[in-house]
């Protein structure tokens, strides 16, 4: 097998030789020494490489789309939560009512939506779109984690000032 590969490589190099390009008959003679099986093997290898590259590009494109969905979902949920808190604040609600504005049945909206979408995606209940649904859920959960971390950090600093 290696002998065939080295012979093919040698023939390819000879085909790229400038003197062969100047004398097409010489190139035809070299090409005529290549068997149909060798050509079929070379074609199969090239086709396999092209298929691998095509699949890799497709996978990378899908991953990029999921990343954008994750980021967009995090932004969208954060924006929604900000609007809910802003409306409650504008109406002069108490701090407790403002917190409730971003909740459904006592659970933070971003946590509930994010957890639900992530679970739905993990269980593959959305078929081919499960990874996309999961990405949206991870974005919402990231928004919740960021907001919760910010609140806890603020509480920690304010608590230190009181002490």
Residue 4 in tokens: 């065939």
Q: What is the pLDDT of residues 116-127, one digit of tens each?
A: 999 999 999 989
Of 96, 74, 71, 72, which is closest to residue 85 (Cα–Cα)? 96
What pLDDT, on a 0 to 100 scale, did the predictor assign at position 131?
94
- Mean pLDDT over 74-80 rounds to 95
The per-residue pLDDT for 10 is: 72
37 versus 27: the higher-pLDDT residue is: 37
Q: What is the mean pLDDT of the chain?
A: 86
Q: What is the pTM of this model?
A: 0.67
* 154 and 101 inside one domain: yes
**Spatial separation of the C-alpha atoms in residues 94 and 118, rounded to whole Å:** 32
Residues 66 and 42 both lie in one domain: no
Nearest Cα residue to 101 out of 77, 85, 124: 85
Q: Which of 10, 38, 54 is the last residue of a domain?
A: 54
142 and 163, same domain (yes or no): yes
Same domain, 86 and 159: yes
What H or E segment, with its residue span, contains residue 104? Answer: strand 103-104
Alpha carbon 30 to its chain's center: 47
Domain count, the chain: 2
pLDDT band at 38 (very low <50, low <70, confident <90, very high): confident
Residues 124, 88: one domain? yes
Question: Domain span at residue 102?
Answer: 61-163
């Amino acid at each position: 097998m290696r002998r065939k590969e080295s012979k093919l490589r040698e023939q390819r190099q000879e085909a790229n030789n400038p003197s062969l390009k100047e004398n097409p008959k010489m190139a035809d003679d070299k090409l005529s020494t290549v068997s149909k099986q060798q050509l079929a093997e070379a074609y199969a290898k090239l086709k396999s490489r092209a298929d691998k590259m095509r699949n890799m590009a497709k996978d990378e494109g899908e991953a990029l789309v999921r990343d954008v969905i994750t980021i967009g979902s995090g932004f969208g949920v954060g924006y929604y939560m900000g609007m809910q808190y802003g409306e409650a604040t504008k109406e002069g609600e108490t701090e407790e009512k403002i917190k409730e504005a971003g909740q459904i049945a006592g659970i933070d909206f971003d946590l509930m939506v994010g957890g639900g979408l992530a679970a739905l995606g993990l269980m593959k209940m959305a078929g081919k779109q499960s990874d996309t649904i999961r990405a949206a859920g991870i974005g919402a959960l990231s928004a919740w984690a960021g907001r919760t971390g910010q609140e806890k950090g603020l509480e920690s600093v304010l608590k230190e000032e009181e002490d």
